[in-house]
Structure formats: C-alpha cells, structure tokens
Amino acid sequence: MSERNDPPSCLLKEFYYLPLPHDAAGAAADLLRQSPYRAVRGVSCEVRHGALVLRGHLPTFHQKQLAQEAVARVPGVSCVLNEIEVAPGSSAAPA
C-alpha cells in the first residue's frame, strides 16, 4: 500500500508530465457542481503531485465513475486519482 504522499501510479508510468493549471481543481469542482446528482456535487477536488484527486462519498459506483469521467475533461488533466468511497446510504437522488 502506498503512502498518501507518494505520486500516483498514473504519473509514475509517464516519462514526464505537465503540471496542472493552477485552476484545475476549481474547474473540476465547477463541472461536478453541474451534475444532476446532488451527491456528486459534494465531491471535493484537489491537486496532489500533479494529479487531480477526487474525495468524498457517493452512493453508487456509477456516480463515482461519472465524477471521474467529468473531471477528466478539464484541460491539462492527464491523471485522475479517484479516492471517492462508495457508501450506499449517501444521497443518490437527482435534483
């Protein structure tokens, strides 16, 4: 098991990577806030070791995947580290 301070494996496979734009986490959060699923809107985004990191709790694996696919469209993002936990009791209803 890797430490949280280690670079994500998607970056280790690359010979080089470009640093994310300074506003990548904000742009990703803006995309998530547009989701029809209330729970997805609460996912947090941060940049760690050049990767966009998603954290939070969602009720389904489907919503977890939707969140990851949404933020992968942010310009400059080549690596998404999805640390979202699936917790079936979370709010699942679209708003």
Domain ranges of the chain: 9-86
The contacts found for 18-24 with CB under 8 angstroms, 24 or more apart, are 18/50, 18/76, 18/78, 19/50, 20/47, 20/50, 20/51, 20/52, 20/76, 20/77, 21/75, 21/76, 24/52, 24/74, 24/76, 24/77
Best CA proximity match to 67, nearest among 80, 77, 78, 76: 80
For residue 15, name the pLDDT band (cuts at 50, 70, 90).
Answer: very low
What confidence tens digit (pLDDT) does each residue in 24-74 have? Answer: 999 999 999 999 999 999 999 998 887 899 999 999 999 999 999 999 999
Please tell me the pTM assigned to this model: 0.76
Lowest mean pLDDT among 2-11, 28-37, 50-59, 84-93: 2-11
CATH code for the part of the protein at 9-86: 3.30.1340
